[in-house]
Structure 1
Amino acid sequence: MSKTTDHIDGRNLRSINTRKKLLEAGHDIFVEYGFQKATITQIIKRAKTGYGTAYIHFTGKDELLIVLMEDVMKRFYEIAEMHFEPASKEEAIAMITNQARLFLENAIEEQAIMKVFAEAIRFSDIAHQKWNEIRERFIEKISNDVAYSQEKGLARKDLNHDLVARNWFALNETHLWDLVNNSNKHSVQEIVRNITTLYTSALYLS
Structure 2
Amino acid sequence: MKEKHDVVDKRHLRSMKTKQKLLEAAREVFLVEGFQKATISQMIKKAGIGYGTAYVHFEGKEEILMVLMDDVMEKFYDIAEVSFSPNTKEEARQIILSQATAFLKMAETERSMMQLFEQAIGISSSIAAKWKAIREKFIQRISQDIAFAQKNGLAQAELNHTLVAKGWFFTNEMYLWEIVRNEHHGTVEEIAETMTVVYTEGLYH
1:173-206 alpha-carbon deviations (Å, 9 max, x no partner): 000011011111321011001111110111111x
User: How far, CA to CA, are the matches of 2:55 and 2:9 in structure 1?
Assistant: 21
User: Cα RMSD (Å) of the superposition?
Assistant: 0.9
**1:9-20 to 2 correspondences below 5 Å:** 9-20=9-20
Partner of 1:192: 192
Q: Does 1:100 align with 2:108?
A: no
Residue 127 of structure 1 deviates from its aligned partner by 0.6
Residue 71 of structure 1 deviates from its aligned partner by 1.0
Residue 158 of structure 1 deviates from its aligned partner by 1.9
Which amino acid in structure 2 is aligned with residue 19 of structure 1? K
1:19-57 alpha-carbon deviations (Å, 9 max, x no partner): 000100111111111111111111111111010000000
User: How far, CA to CA, are the matches of 1:185 and 1:173 in structure 2?
Assistant: 15
**1:35-114 to 2 correspondences below 5 Å:** 35-114=35-114
Partner of 1:139: 139
User: How far, CA to CA, are the matches of 1:121 and 1:16 in structure 2?
Assistant: 27
TM-score of the aligned structures, taking structure 1 as reference length = 0.97
Partner of 2:117: 117
Return structure 1 stretches of 4+ with deviation > 4 angstroms. Answer: none
User: How far, CA to CA, are the matches of 1:10 and 1:114 in structure 2?
Assistant: 35
Residue 2 of structure 1 deviates from its aligned partner by 3.1
| SS of residue matched to 1:130 | helix
1:78-135 alpha-carbon deviations (Å, 9 max, x no partner): 1101000000000000000000001111111111111111111111111100100000
Which amino acid in structure 2 is aligned with residue 93 of structure 1? R
Which amino acid in structure 1 is aligned with residue 92 of structure 2? A
Residue 3 of structure 1 deviates from its aligned partner by 2.6
User: How far, CA to CA, are the matches of 1:91 and 1:185 in structure 2?
Assistant: 28
User: How far, CA to CA, are the matches of 1:157 and 1:51 in structure 2?
Assistant: 57
